[in-house]
Amino acid sequence: MTVTPLTLRKKIAFHLFRKYKENERKLHTLNYIFWEATLKCNLNCLHCGSDCKSESPVKDMPAKDFLKVIDQIRRITDPGSTMIVFTGGEALLRKDIEDVGLNLLFDISFYFCFFLISASANDSAKILKGITNILNECYFL
Ligand code: SF4
């Protein structure tokens, strides 16, 4: 097997690309935080990659622990440009999810959003009312 030497042009291109990648690695801006708030889900999709069920053998992470972690992350990132996504399982099955959202919004000032998949949730109307309450408090620029 013969090895063809790189042209100067290719060497420069590889060098610049390597520098670009090193810089990207250093910056590595945190834009999204996905919180798998629960492994419980009211649906039972065949394709579910999370293996979620109506009951979970794993306890949900306490809200205060999650908020504590977010408070630590706040020191190394810009809350105004970091999106927190509540997911699961079905995040809206948590009884405290509205409180967590309000806490993030007012005490920590992160953006956040929900992945809504509660079409068949028994108390989806109540949950959606909670989200509406949060959105009513939001400012849209
Ligand atoms: S977590 Fe998503 S994919 Fe899994 S069962 Fe629930 S709705 Fe379906």
Mean of the pLDDT values across residues 101-120? 63
* Nearest CA residue ID for atom 4, ligand 1: 48
* Dihedral angle over CA of 19, 21, 22, 23, nearest 10: 90
Share of the chain above pLDDT 90, in %: 23
Q: How far is the CA of 40 from the centre of ligand 1 (A)?
A: 9
Q: Atom 3 of ligand 1 has which residue's CA nearest to it?
A: 48
Mean pLDDT of the chain: 80
Ligand 1 neighbourhood includes 41 CB (under 6 angstroms): yes
Range from 45-54, 73-82, 121-130 carrying the lowest mean pLDDT: 121-130
Domain positions in the chain: 29-136
Q: Is the CB of 116 under 6 A from ligand 1?
A: no
pLDDT in tens, 41-65: 888 888 887 778 888 888 999 999 9
- Give the model's confidence band at 134: pLDDT under 50 very low, under 70 low, under 90 confident, else very high: low
Quickly name the fold that domain 29-136 has: TIM Barrel (3.20.20)
On the question of a cis peptide bond just before residue 89, with omega within 30 degrees of 0, the verdict is yes
- CB of residue 130 inside a 6 A radius of ligand 1: no
Strand order in the sheet with 83-87: 32-36, 83-87, 111-114
- Specify the 3-state DSSP secondary structure of 56: coil
pLDDT level of residue 18 (50, 70, 90 thresholds)? very high
C-beta contacts of 129-138 below 8 A and 24+ residues apart: 130/97, 130/98, 131/92, 131/98, 131/101, 133/98, 134/98, 134/101, 134/102, 134/105, 137/102, 137/105, 137/106, 138/105
Q: What is the mean pLDDT of residues 88-95?
A: 86
Reported confidence tier of residue 122, pLDDT bands at 50, 70, 90 = low
Confidence of residue 141 (pLDDT cuts 50, 70, 90): very low
Which of helix, strand or coil describes residue 40? strand
